[in-house]
Amino acid sequence: MPPAIQNLLEPLSPVMDILSAHPYIALFAGMLIAGEIILLPAIFLATTGRIDLLAVVSISLLATLISDAIWYALGRRFPARFIKRFSGRFGHKFLDSMERIFNAGGGQVLFLSKFVYGTRTLVQVFAGLHGMPFRNYLPINMAGVLAVIVVLILVSYAIVGMTIRIEEVMQRLQVAFLLFVVITVGGFFMFSRVMKQRWSV
């Protein structure tokens, strides 16, 4: 493998090693703490047949919903404390814009936040702070989590399939993983930038 590609993949190699050695425990714990950092390599390993895809989807969904529900509950219990915490990170203007948008359509923001990197936790807190009924919150949040997982699976299968078709040029699956990470992160970054600009108006 070219040295440049090895250097790009090197930061993710510890995550890949842990997932390969103890995939499901690492996935559950990692999704509770780190989210997408664990989800990307887990989905790639699943779509290349290294670990079970259904298990990855189930564990990722469960761990994310637990993590999100904790933030939702904290938003309901300690709204002022958490808004103060996020104000330093996002700025008052962004929080004021999110407040208006959430008042107009909290469910839509909750769903789309899964695709906007860096806002997932904030939106969970807002859902709790605004008193969104849990019976409404849970299905919308679950739909958003499933949508992200399905998109990532489709992207991974597409990249792996493309790599296999041109294996005389790209003979290592690590190249497919690199493409998967670059395309996925790039796509999420662009979408996040557009949505954050729209939410900041």
Confidence band, pLDDT 50/70/90 cuts, at residue 198: confident
**pLDDT tens string 57-74:** 999 999 999 999 999 998
Among 71-85, 125-139, 146-160, where is mean pLDDT lowest? 71-85
Q: Is 196 left (phi over 0), alpha (psi -120 to 50) or beta?
A: alpha
Q: Cβ–Cβ contacts within 10 Å for residue 113, how many?
A: 25
- Average pLDDT, stretch 71-94? 74
Q: How far apart are the first and last CA of the chain?
A: 46
**pLDDT tens string 24-45:** 888 898 888 877 778 888 888 8
The values of phi and psi at residue 170, to 5°, are: -120, 100
By CB atoms closer than 10 A (0-12, 13-18, 19+), residue 56 is: buried
Q: What pLDDT is stored for residue 1 in this prediction?
A: 42
Q: What is the pTM of this model?
A: 0.70
**pLDDT beyond 70 at 23:** yes
Residue 12 is classified by DSSP as G
CA distance 73 to 78: 8
Contact call for residues 101 and 113 (beta carbons, < 8 A): no
Is the four-CA dihedral 199, 137, 152, 21 of positive or negative sign?
Answer: positive
Higher pLDDT, 1 or 44: 44
Q: What pLDDT is stored for residue 88 in this prediction?
A: 65
Q: Cβ–Cβ contacts within 10 Å for residue 107, how many?
A: 17
In whole numbers, what is the pLDDT of the chain averaged over residues?
78
The amino acid that residue 121 corresponds to is T
